[in-house]
Structure 1
Amino acid sequence: MQTERIEQVISKAREFLGTPYLWGGNTRQGIDCSGLMLQAFQAIGHNVPRVAGDQQKIGQHVEIDELIAGDLIFFTDKPGNTTITHVGMVTSTDYDKDVVNFIHASSSPKGVMEANALADWWQELYVGATRPEVFV
């Protein structure tokens, strides 16, 4: 694993904490979930696709109980759907405490924030996860 590169990408994503959500945005004035990933990976000079569904294809599938920092995690918009509509990046894990923190651009008033992917709300919307090939 490339710990330093993973830390750089997470650090860049965290620079956007509190940035308001804007569909199609990728600046501090407003950003969406896939735009946040685009900006984060540019910190290490790596380009990723602009759309969340395409970002799932940039690496290998990872099971939810094997997630590590830097993995991309994907969600849908309502329980039962499988179409990817949202992406975030794992920032830390503590499986003993049922915690998989991830950063994402939320449409809530908080904007870019971190949340626990193992919380019931997110588990109902979970689609899958990918370990980007740039980190393997």
Structure 2
Amino acid sequence: MTRIIFCIVASFVLISCGGSKKAARAKASTESTRYTAPEKKPIATSSPSTRELMYLSEIKPSEENQIRFNIIKNARQYEGTPYKYGGTTPKGMDCSGLVYTAFLEEGISIPRVSRHIAEEGKRIKTNDVIPGDLLFFITGRRSKQINHVGIVVDVLPGQILFIHSSTSQGVIVSSLNEGYWNNAFKEARRIM
């Protein structure tokens, strides 16, 4: 019953910090693999269905997984919040503000800036990400360092969904299949 309620609550929340519409391509790394979109047409959704969120309920319960669920729930409660540079409240937040706040609400203190958050935890391959892991991006033509972050909310066959705060749409859920995000993707990290 708790899982069903979580899935319903989780389906009510959802896009990114960043600047330019063009993304800088990240250099390939031996530690991370660039996510490759499947050949079928990508699903461009900003609100995953309960069926898409089933993966969350399939993770074995543990204290660590409960914290991951809570972090995702914390982030999703801000869905629809407008973008505000430096913001960390329901009145407005940026991408790192969303991640910082979602973790802090679980008593986990992380840096406030995307590029500093990217120095935490351990780098993982996209094939190994699970809900609660973080995705980092380099957006804009001039940027050469990480400047955007999102939290993985679900992993489906051939698709990774993440919540973030976008300059144009505020807090939303996006797919790594979307061309802009796929091109801007730099690395995935696990904080816990």
Matched, 1:120 2:182: no
Q: 1:21 aligns with which of 73, 83, 86?
A: 83
Please tell me whether Structure 1 or Structure 2 has the larger radius of gyration of its CA atoms: 2
2:32 is matched with which residue? Answer: none
The alignment of Structure 1 onto Structure 2 pairs a total of residues equal to 130
Identity %: 34
Question: What CA distance in whole angstroms lies between the structure 2 residues aligned with 1:9 and 1:19?
Answer: 17
Matched, 1:101 2:161: yes
Structure 1: state its 5+ residue gaps. none
Structure 1 residue ranges (4+ consecutive) displaced by more than 3 angstroms after TM superposition: 78-82
Residue-by-residue CA offset, 1:35-67 (whole Å, 9 max, x unaligned): 001110012101110000010111000111211
More strand by share: 1
Q: Given that residues 99 and 117 in structure 1 are in contact (C-alpha distance below 8 angstroms), is that contact kept between their aligned partners in structure 2?
A: yes
How far the C-alpha of 1:118 sits from its partner, in A, is 2.6
Q: What amino acid does structure 2 have at the position aligned with 1:90?
A: V
- TM-score, structure 1 normalization: 0.90
More helix by share: 1
Relative contact order, CA 8 A, sep 6+: which one is greater? 2
- CA distance 1:81–1:25, shift in 2 (3 Å): closer
Question: What CA distance in whole angstroms lies between the structure 1 residues aligned with 2:189 and 2:151?
Answer: 10
Matched, 1:66 2:128: yes
Structure 2: state its 5+ residue gaps. 1-61
Q: Given that residues 103 and 114 in structure 1 are in contact (C-alpha distance below 8 angstroms), is that contact kept between their aligned partners in structure 2?
A: yes
